[in-house]
Amino acid sequence: MKFWRTLLFFMVFVLMAGTALASGFRLPETGAKAMGVGFAFTAQADDPSAIYFNPAGITQLEGHNFMIGATYVSQSGAKFSGITPLTGGQHETERQKALKYLIPNMYFTSMNKETGIAWGIGVFVPFGLGQEYKSWTDSIFRNQIVKIELMTVVINPTIAYKINEYVSIGAGINYLHGMAKLGQTPVAPAPIGNLYQLELEGNDAAWGYNIGILIKPTPNFRIGAHYRSSFELEIKKGNVKIHNLNPAYGLIPALGPAPSDMKGSAAVSMPATFAIGVAYTIDRLTLEADIDWTFWSKYKSLPIRFENQVTTLTNQDLEKNWKDVYALRFGMQYQVTDPLALRLGVVYDRSPVPADTMGPELPDSHRMNYMAGVGYKTGSWTIDAAFMYLDKSNRSSNNMSPGNGFNGEWSGNAWLTGLNLTYRF
């Protein structure tokens, strides 16, 4: 048990921050080979990251396999042009801080050919969100959000069974540990201005499951399907810290007593996902097409609660009402030589965020993802690398109300590099 606690701490520590790299705040960057083919991997599922993409696929792996890696993300801060409740009706421009961080993953699998049973365990980051604005004191979004982080780690023990040469099935249990941070600066009308700086931080755990099937009608044709259940992350008794209280606060009776450190809570619904894919191999070329659904309609609101409320620190129930969305994924791999493989992929990924509830914590939009990758085997070792460019469409919203929302346009993009090392023994 001590080993798993240490492992979980390491994964959360390495993550450092998350961001929205797929629809909403989902992160499919859990393996470099899959990234290289545009995450069109449900039907191939032929490396240890199959634990994430389709657990039935681990029956294809011989012996024991250990895989470790990470995705490095370089995200330029999204740019906003428009008005917020703090700009006084004046059009302004603000850019989020650029973020650079790692998304780690690790897998182990073992296959017994005689029994047809395979098992394994995966540790990965399925969801994450990270945004930070330029200043706690000057940002035009500071009364809504200055900084937000949602960091998750899943431990996914898995078992699979090869029924016959045509059909394999797999399933797993998912233990999710999540950490969330929120920072904002409540603002009073002039001449008071900023009242204080607030930080809410907490963590919680949740359980889920995943199931998959892999069908091979012929040696060159594969069909895969995979379902992963939703999670309910409820942060209770989180720490709320108050910094830089305005000295004028106590001179205004209408504001009530000055806030101090207290406890707070928040709840985040993380969606179920379902993917189905088909792959076909022609000589040295493998092609795959997937359609992947994320059931974001479960995310209806973001409730935030505080103990010992004061006039300027009240409970919030931010309406979200996100939509279920799909992503179209296409990938190809060409086996140049026995050790060397080249890969390409493209993804069309829709945003679940309605314009009328979009907030500065996630100004999401439809995006195109373009990938390229390479794999090389030498002896018992395999190294996979992938590169990805995330091109977001510009997104406009006109949902400003007193204290919340904005009227304006967002733009931004990101570069990602994935690397995995696999050892078979």
Query: What CATH number is given to the structural domain containing 37?
Result: 2.40.160.60
pLDDT at 22: 61
Query: Exposed/middle/buried for 30, CB within 10 Å: 0-12, 13-18, 19+?
Result: buried
Mean pLDDT of 206-220: 96
- pLDDT 10s digits, 151-183: 899 999 999 999 999 999 999 999 999 988 889
DSSP notation for 154-209: EEEEEEEEE-SSSEEEEEEEEEEEEEEEEEE--EETTTTEE--EEEEEEEEEEEEE
Answer whether residue 223 shows pLDDT above 90. yes
Pairing relationship of beta strands 167-184 and 147-162 according to DSSP bridges: antiparallel
Answer whether residue 301 shows pLDDT above 60. yes
Answer whether residue 14 shows pLDDT above 50. no
pLDDT at 174: 97
pLDDT at 4: 44
Mean pLDDT of 179-201: 88
- CB burial of 258-282 (b: ≥16 within 10 Å; e: otherwise) equals ebeebebbbbbbbbbbebbbbbebe
Query: Exposed/middle/buried for 298, CB within 10 Å: 0-12, 13-18, 19+?
Result: middle
DSSP type of residue 5: H
Answer whether residue 227 shows pLDDT above 50. yes
pLDDT at 18: 44
- Please count the structural domains in the chain: 1
Structure tokens at 374: 């390479």
Bridge partners for 227 per DSSP: 211, 274
Average pLDDT taken over every residue of the chain? 89
Looking at the whole model, is its pTM more than 0.85? yes
Q: How confident is the model at residue 130 (pLDDT cuts 50, 70, 90)?
A: confident
Mean pLDDT of 192-215: 93
Q: How confident is the model at residue 257 (pLDDT cuts 50, 70, 90)?
A: confident
Structure tokens at 385: 């690398």
Q: Which residue would you say has higher pLDDT here, 308 or 394?
A: 394
Range of the domain at 368: 2-424
Q: How many CA atoms lie within 13 A of 161 on its CB side?
A: 4
Answer whether residue 126 shows pLDDT above 90. yes
> CA-based Rg of the chain, rounded to a whole angstrom?
23
Structure tokens at 14: 């390495």
Residue 379 CB contacts under 8 Å (≥ 6 apart), including other chains: none
- Assess whether the previous peptide bond of 191 is cis (omega < 30° from 0): yes
Q: Which bin fits 38, alpha (ψ -120 to 50), beta or left (φ > 0)?
A: left
pLDDT at 166: 97
**Which amino acid, 298?**
K
Cβ contact 129:362 at 8 Å: yes
Mean pLDDT of 349-353: 94
Range with the poorest average pLDDT among 6-10, 249-253, 279-283, 284-288: 6-10
Mean pLDDT of 288-299: 96
Q: How confident is the model at residue 255 (pLDDT cuts 50, 70, 90)?
A: confident
Query: Exposed/middle/buried for 247, CB within 10 Å: 0-12, 13-18, 19+?
Result: exposed
Range with the poorest average pLDDT among 5-9, 278-282, 374-378, 381-385: 5-9
Q: How confident is the model at residue 403 (pLDDT cuts 50, 70, 90)?
A: confident
pLDDT at 312: 66
